Chains A and B, each alone.
Chain A
Amino acid sequence: MKRSKKIEESFFKVLMVIATYSILAVLALIMYSIFAKGIKAMSWEVLTTVPSGGYYYGKGGGILNAILGSLSLAFGATLLAFLIGLPVALYINVFLVRYKNAVRMIRFILDLVWGIPSIVYGAFGFSMMILLGIQTSLLAGTITVTLFILPIMIRSMDEILRTVPIGLSEAAYSLGSNKSELAFKIFTRQTISGIITAILLSFGRGIGDAASVLFTAGYTDNLPNSLMEPVATLPLSIFFQLSSPVPAVQDRAYASALVLTLIILLVSLFSRGLGKRYHKTKINF
């Protein structure tokens, strides 16, 4: 009896160890291949110039168009999603809390739309563009990515706002706050680092997604001069470069992947650091 328990335990322990290390190994392999191939092709030129004519056949130039394009698109979309998402999340947690069924329903719907693949958002954005007569452009891409990250933004802020203890609401109400003061002065302050984490999470999802910008942002070798012009993005630039038959261009695809990975890594490290700070200043009882 005791012996079999011991064998069982060591069996599962070995299983967990194997699972953990194989996952880590796969992750390490992915990172290694991106870094190894990416660094080889990385240069100042790649980072600071736009593609010259014949870039995709191995001529000179870089991916500045895609770097700036992705950054501006993701910044714009994150900003929009934040401006829409924060009031929604606050509304759910301050004004609607009484109506438990409604809140449950809203959360369920948001979780559903969170799960919709981004290509569907891309297709939706595209059909809207046709309806409104808009070309592929920075504007159309930004709006589509906004829609795509909105549920992520709202639900992750919602989850953090839910952690505000009811005693804090009671304290604020008893001082004579109304609901909007409670929402914008108390809830946002109490959860500020969680809100920033939600913003960074949404930014990371937005900047890394290819399918939602495929039909909507278009692609260009130049930097757009207005919101109505097409814009290049890193995921699509990786795709186009990998599709090239020239090995040197394929290597530059890895350089682009490296840039994208580093941006996302930076963002998540940043939000990790915030998370730590958040726990330090949290009130403990």
Chain B
Amino acid sequence: MMLDMEMNKIHIENLNVFAGRQQILKDININIPKNKITVILGPSGCGKTTLLKCMNRLTDLYPELKVTGKVLINDKNVLDPHADIVTLRQYMGLLMQRPYPLPMTIYNNIAYGLKLRGVKSRRDLHKQVMHYLQLANLWDEVRHRLREPASRLSIGQQQRLCLARGLAVNPEIILADEPTSALDPISSQYIETKFTELKNDYTIVLVTHVLRQARRIADYVVFMYLGEVIEQGTVEEVFGNPKMEKTKQYLGGTFN
């Protein structure tokens, strides 16, 4: 598979993240291809979540973190302090490691992002809420309880609600941090299949610990270890013929 520069959606250049003296991310350079699924692999604590948070600058919320380098999306540097970060964040739908439903009804959890995007009429809202809930395979379970607080849903349902909510801002990129870790095999399978469909319209960056899942759905793979990118390449390259010793160990399960 050829990965042409023109086809890249996100360019990460010399990204460093420090927390005090500790360096969490070390000189990261990644090109994330458009309309593909890029999977980020690596042992716990290697900086995967931090990398995702840099992409939509949620690192702003942690004053102890110092971020340098560039994250270019549509040729705009997200990390530029003058960037219109509110708009840039709407290019990206985020699915976090744990679901955080907004403190409102199931319906309004979806409508919130739609309204921020400028959808006004009640009919459009209604139609789109339904559409995105269907997309996340949640509609049948919640169609009769749309006015209930979202916090009453089970964790797996909340996870799918967050997927629907993230898609509803109509992003170009989906950032997903272990989105299937709280799900049963069936929902998890569903999300996986959904992602492979969604990549026609979106660029997907997915963090996962499940190697089999990575192998099934990844187009591009980034392997990280202790804050560094050890190896990156197409799924065939990284899984089929890993160059680095660390990658071989990790994929072979003999990692320590």
Contacts and interface: CB of A to CB of B under 8 A. Distances in A.
Interface of A: 97-100, 165-178, 181, 185-186, 189-190, 192, 281-283, 285
A172 B102 contact: yes
30 contacts: A97-B63, A98-B60, A98-B63, A100-B63, A165-B100, A166-B61, A167-B96, A167-B98, A167-B100, A168-B100, A169-B61, A170-B58, A170-B96, A171-B94, A171-B96, A171-B102, A172-B102, A173-B58, A174-B92, A174-B93, A174-B94, A175-B169, A176-B89, A176-B116, A181-B116, A186-B102, A186-B103, A282-B151, A285-B98, A285-B155
Nearest to A285: B98
Contacts of B94: 170-171, 174
B251 to A, nearest CB: 31
A166 B101 CA distance: 12
Contacts of B56: 173-174
Given A175-B113, A176-B117, A178-B86, 13 more contacts: A98-B60, A98-B61, A98-B63, A99-B63, A167-B96, A167-B100, A174-B92, A175-B90, A175-B169, A186-B102, A281-B151, A283-B101, A283-B151
B112 interface: yes
Contacts of A173: 56, 58, 61, 89
B61 A174 contact: no
B169 to A, nearest CB: 6
Interface of B: 53, 56, 58, 60-61, 63, 86-87, 89-90, 92-94, 96, 98, 100-104, 112-113, 116-117, 149, 151-152, 155, 162, 165-166, 169
Contact of B103 (A98, A174, A175, A190): A190
A107 B58 CA distance: 25
A168 B155 CA distance: 15
A175 B165 contact: yes
B89 A174 contact: yes
A283 B152 CA distance: 8
Prevailing SS type, chain A contact patch:
helix
B102 A170 contact: no
Contacts of B60: 98
Interface centre among B87, B98, B104, B116 (most CB of A within 10 A): B116
A167 B151 CA distance: 14
Contacts of B113: 175-176
A173 B28 CA distance: 24
A281 B105 CA distance: 12
A-B interface, 7 closest residue pairs, ranked by CB to CB distance from nearest: A174-B94, A176-B90, A190-B103, A189-B103, A171-B100, A167-B100, A175-B113
B90 to A, nearest CB: 4
A175 B112 contact: yes
A98 B165 CA distance: 27
B61 A170 contact: yes
A176 B84 CA distance: 11
A173 to B, nearest CB: 6
Contacts of B87: 176
Contacts of B98: 167, 285
Nearest to A282: B151
A189 B150 CA distance: 13
Contacts of B86: 176-178
B230 to A, nearest CB: 27
A171 B162 contact: yes
B120 to A, nearest CB: 16
